[in-house]
Amino acid sequence: MTTENIQEHITNQNLKFHLPKDLKEKKENILLNPESPTGVLTKTSHSQEGNQALSKTTGFLTNKRVEKHQGTKTLFKEFSKMNWPIDIHPLNKTLVNDNKWKKTDETQEKRRSFLQEFCRKFGGVSHPQSHLFHMVSRIYVEDKHKILYCEVPKAGCSNWKRVLMVLNGLAPSAYNISHDAVHYGKHLKKLDSFDIRGIHTRLNTYTKAVFVRDPMERLVSAFRDKFEHPNSYYHPVFGKAIIKKYRPNVCEEALINGSGVRFKEFVHYLLDSHRPVGMDIHWEKVSKLCYPCLINYDFVGKFETLEEDANYFLQLIGAPKELKFPNFKDRHSSDERTNAQVVRQYLKDLTRTERQLIYDFYYLDYLMFNYTTPFL
């Protein structure tokens, strides 16, 4: 995909955002197939040929890849006997005695209701169609306090895993656990390590939490972390492939070490239906990491109010009073945190169409979690 090809078909067109009128009528379950076209990009004046050319150029708008796993039907025949989907339960607030959490609680109930209503209207599922063990593969288990936490990278996940380790008795404090111990120590169990009955029991009885972040902020944060600092994995694996495909007249040195990927090149990779390397959890959609319309999360936290939400959640599950959610930056602590102002600086390098297409890509995450449409 090249910017020139896109612009050839949309020059001087006004773009606008809208929720597709036919979203409710879609027979295809877009929540289980987030790669399906959503039709978010519209033009005030255009030709049918221009639409076709744009879709063909960008690729992902017409991509209908469906994950298929051997043995799925057999697994779900057994699993369907266990009353899927899991119903959302009222939060147990008996352990919250402090009135200071009233506003946080009201916000939490609004988020839960919003997500549940969205899934009720647009989910349209009676049973899962993705492989069960894949669906729960990002969910961490803490049995002592009966917690299920779905990991969303770049949304406070490192510090959340530190907290889970403290709750599990693996460390006395969240502040003295290294980055490597968090991500490579394998101290925490994941839900897919249990059998079907063990998975179902925990989904039905444990408090399920997911913490999300504005998709555009999360994307820029991932890019800064993985491509603007030395990285022995992302540079040779992703960097080399991205530079090779999306940079014209590339020099030999860049191809050898894979460092110096530009944000525009990274975006072209993200939007390409024929990516030279696959997706990565750090910029994958939350709708495909945590399946929020199939797994009804009891608690929906946001990175934008991370400390407040996290500490309220710790009250709900009866964590030790001295345990507070850590507020330190896990890596590259001297860098400015990725915020709306930082994001705007990165978006300046993109065309309006490219910014629109990023929004399209994260369309479901914006809708599910009621994030404001970005100014593009």
pLDDT of residue 333: 66
Among 246, 248, 234, 266, which residue's Cα sits nearest to residue 331?
234
What 3-state class would DSSP assign to 210? strand
Return phi, psi of residue 53, to 5°. Answer: -65, -40
356 alpha carbon, distance to own chain's centre: 18
Q: What is the pLDDT along the chain (376 residues), one digit of tens a residue?
A: 444 443 333 233 333 333 434 343 333 333 433 333 333 333 333 333 333 333 333 443 333 333 333 333 444 454 444 455 555 667 888 878 778 899 999 999 999 999 999 998 886 544 455 688 999 999 999 999 999 999 999 999 999 999 999 999 988 888 888 878 887 777 899 999 999 999 999 999 999 999 999 999 999 999 999 999 999 999 999 999 999 999 998 898 889 999 999 999 999 999 999 999 999 999 999 999 999 999 999 999 999 999 999 999 999 999 999 999 998 767 666 688 899 999 999 999 999 999 999 999 999 999 999 999 876 6
Ramachandran sector of residue 271 (left: φ over 0; alpha: ψ -120 to 50; beta: rest): alpha
pLDDT of residue 376: 66
Strand ranges (E), 157-228: 189-190, 207-212
Omega cis (within 30) before 85: yes
Given a contact cutoff of 8 angstroms between Cβ atoms, the answer to whether 212 and 300 are in contact is yes
In the 8-state DSSP scheme, what is residue 81? G
Angle (CA) 117-120-126 rounded to 5° is 155
- Take residue 284 and report the two structure tokens written for it: 């994958």
pTM for this prediction: 0.78
Look up residue 70 and give its amino acid: Q
Which residues does residue 212 pair with via DSSP β-bridges, in sequence order?
Answer: 302
